[in-house]
Structure 1
Amino acid sequence: MINVGVLGATGAVGQRFVELLSDHPWFNLTTLAASERSAGKPYGKVVNWRLETPFPEKIAKLKVTAITPSAMKDVDLVFSALPAEIAQDVENTFADAGIAVCSNASSHRMEPNVPLVVPEVNPEHLGLIDVQRDAGRDGFIVTNPNCSTIMLVSALAPLRKFKFSDIRVATMQAISGAGFAGVAAMSIYDNIIPYIGKEEEKMETETLKIMGTLKGKKVVNAPFQVSASCHRVPVIDGHTMAVWVDIKEPVETVKKAYADYKPPIKGLPTQPAESVHLCAEEDRPQPRLDRMRGHGMTVSVGRVREGLRFVAMGHNTIRGAAGASVLNAELISKKKYL
């Protein structure tokens, strides 16, 4: 077993990490770190558990530590659910101290030597870990993308065999993507908010890096353009998006590509049986009905039409956040980077 910890363990994504790691077959959750006001107290006493799954009582008595490498010296890897402005320096400190960091924060995603990974899409980009180590770092940082970007690139992965140069996407994003207190009730009830700070820029840049090619010590961006428009809608969990891609192949050919799709990796505990599910129903996917497919790790695609147009949807705090980071860690372990 590999000893792991969670940074920011009391927040929305931190709680998802705890949920996914409490009974993990490869990882032993030994350390939970949070703010100074929680440090030294049992996790069960300081966390306001808000997930729909029962609180994992086995970790209730774990004492919360400070967010420092010295307080987590017995772990091999940490999962970061820290806000970006805090993660920037903290994650570097942990990596410099010889600890592997799997981060859900945006701070390091676009740095040239940091892998931005979705295992079913670009597992080879983990080669950038060697670039970090060659520069003298004992640990390393690996990031997963923004929650909406993960849904988009997962839905695009089966289409790589086709030629395209232009992608347009309009998202309908759940309120849980903004954290427990991220959107005021009076702002989102009976409403749609047509702006999410920096979300469009993340989709437009991260997608190109993820679907790019690792050449030597750097990633060459994918040769297409992404234009995104992002919206917050009154759905609790599950990001939905309408996607337009300038693919000329017939719809049936595209549907067959989805049906035949086999991810380049297998044998990871968190990986679902279907990374991408093609919905046959004309009114699917829907967040309430499809977000927990594959235990929340499957991206569902439907309404594939001429144009090419389709709808993609996935669980934003599982597939789009904590689950993605845990899957990255499993791939890192499988490839013997720890």
Structure 2
Amino acid sequence: MPEYNVGILGATGAVGQKFIRLLQNHPWFKIAALGASSRSAGKSYAEAANWIESAELPSSVADIVVKECTAKNFSDVDFVFSGLDASVAGDIELAFATAGIPVISNAKNFRTDPTVPLLIPEVNPDHIQLIDTQTFTKDRSGWIVTNPNCVAVPLTTSLKPLHDHYGIKSVILTSMQAISGAGYPGVPSLDILGNVIPHIGGEESKIHAEPLKLLGTLINGKLTHASFPVQATATRVPVINGHMLSVTVELENKPASEDEVIERYKNWVSPIKELDLPSAPDFPIYYHNSPFYPQPRLHADSEQGMRTSVGKMRKSNVLDLSYIAMAHNTVRGAAGGAILNAELLVRKEYL
């Protein structure tokens, strides 16, 4: 494989730091440029970043001089990963795309754009064809791809086998979201220690909408969203990493038993399995037989944090099925998911 020079926008933030850690020793991608705000520009990365990752700051990036996030400062990269905050991501990502630099974003700003793929490679790899409908540049050299909200990832991944085999009529869930999802410095300790916060601003609307785009059908370059309703309650819990979901689903076609559904999960085959992508987990969906699993502390880091764990499948007294799903929010639900998107785009010759 050729080596790609990549830039990271928002490199000093929590998501940007996760990109840097996960890209160390990547076989295809080499960090060539780091971008942040004007406060950090001109400083070495070691000086500019308050490094919060558990691994040491990589020596390969410590001396890289941080630049402002302008396209002219990143003219030597093949594409950029964006870990920018949504408050600034929209204008900056648009400027990069119109300058002919592909953007693979973790931000929410372009997720609802009908021409921009909202992508989980194991769920909707065909949606990358939406890139062909984008008009950021006349020669289509600049484009944007996004990865979903950190709850929408395990939710949609866990719904995929049900959607394919039975059809979905409605979904109700409660998310129990780790504090790392709030970024750094995150939630004040006096609010979260020994407590559960029953609201996360702006979160529930994303959980309602994004699975419908992800599970939509692409025909002749036009995406038709799935149409089932989703009702979510988003809560913050005193867990460091790993968003856990309690999900109840109503199905179009009823399975004979919960054992039948469990077998669907265990026998599910990822549509990208044969592509041999470096960051792809061997088991994107893993079903745990123990009713005590999955647990964030035990399973968030499974397969380098890229696995969605499912367990406690049972018939529901209200709808049809209830289960637990969980995934690492800052890896699978953020930087790791974006890197996997980039790997798919390489294999499909968009990069």
> TM class by shorter-chain length?
over 0.9
Report deviation, 1:188: 0.8
1:51-62 correspondence to structure 2 within 5 Å: 51-62=53-64
> Are the equivalent residues in 1 in contact too, given 2:286–2:308 (CA < 8 A)?
yes
Please name the residue that 2:159 is paired with.
156
d(CA) in 2 for partners of 1:263 and 1:49? 35
Q: Bigger shift: 171-180 or 215-224?
A: 215-224
Q: Amino acid of the residue matched to residue 259 of structure 2? A: E
Match of 1:313 in 2: 326
Q: How many residues align?
A: 338
Partner of 2:338: 325
2:236 and 2:187 map into 1 onto residues whose CA distance is: 9
SS in structure 2 at match of 1:16:
helix
Moved more, 186-195 or 115-124: 186-195
Partner in structure 2 of residue 182 of structure 1: 186
Match of 1:285?
A: 294
Cα deviation, residue 163, structure 1: 2.6
1:181 aligned partner, one-letter code: P
In the alignment, the residues of structure 2 paired with residue 254 and residue 167 of structure 1 have an alpha-carbon distance, to the nearest angstrom, of 16
Determine the C-alpha separation between the residues in 1 that align with 2:222 and 2:137.
Answer: 14
CA deviation map 1:58-78 (0-9, x unaligned): 211111111001111000110
CA distance, structure 1, for counterparts of residue 168 and residue 56 of structure 2: 45
Normalised TM-score (structure 1): 0.98
Q: Give 2:190's aligned amino acid.
A: M
* 2-structure distance, mates of 1:116, 1:149: 11
- Which position in structure 1 is the counterpart of 2:113? 111
User: Quick one: distance in 2 between partners of 1:90 and 1:216?
Assistant: 30
| Bigger mean CA deviation after superposition, 218-227 or 26-35 | 218-227
| Alignment check: 8 A CA contact 1:22 1:59 kept | no
CA-based RMSD? 1.2
- Comparing 190-199 and 291-300, the one that deviates more: 190-199
Aligned residues of 1:193 and 1:232 also touching (Cα < 8 A): yes
Runs of 5+ consecutive residues of structure 1 not aligned to the other structure: none
Matches within 5 A, 1:250-269: 250-266=257-273, 267-269=276-278
Shift of 1:40: 1.5
Runs of 4+ in 1 over 3 A off after TM superposition: none
Q: Return the letter of the residue paired with 1:198.
A: G
Post-superposition offset of 1:260: 0.2
CA contact (8 A) 2:218 2:224 kept: yes
The separation in 2 between residues aligned to 1:17 and 1:242, in whole angstroms, is 29
Seq. identity, %: 47
For residue 147 of structure 1, give the secondary structure of its aligned residue in structure 2. coil
SS in 2 for 1:4: strand
SS of equivalent residue, structure 2 residue 313: strand
Alignment counterpart, residue 270 of structure 1, candidates 270, 279, 295: 279
Q: Does 1:191 align with 2:200?
A: no
Q: Which residue of 2 aligns with 1:142?
A: 145
State the AA in 2 paired with 1:225. P
1:218 CA displacement: 2.2
Q: 3-state SS of the aligned residue for 2:326? A: strand
1:22 Cα deviation after fit: 2.2
Partner amino acid for 1:280?
N
Q: Quick one: which amino acid aligns to residue 185 of structure 2?
A: A
- Pair 1:173-2:182 in alignment: no
Structure 1 position 162, deviation (Å): 1.1
1:20 maps to a residue whose letter is: L
> Aligned letter for 1:29?
I
Confirm or deny: 8 A CA contact 1:4 1:31 kept in the other structure.
Answer: yes
Q: What SS does structure 1 have at the residue aligned with 2:247? A: strand
The offset of 1:184, in angstroms, is 0.9
Match of 2:247 among 221, 243, 249: 243
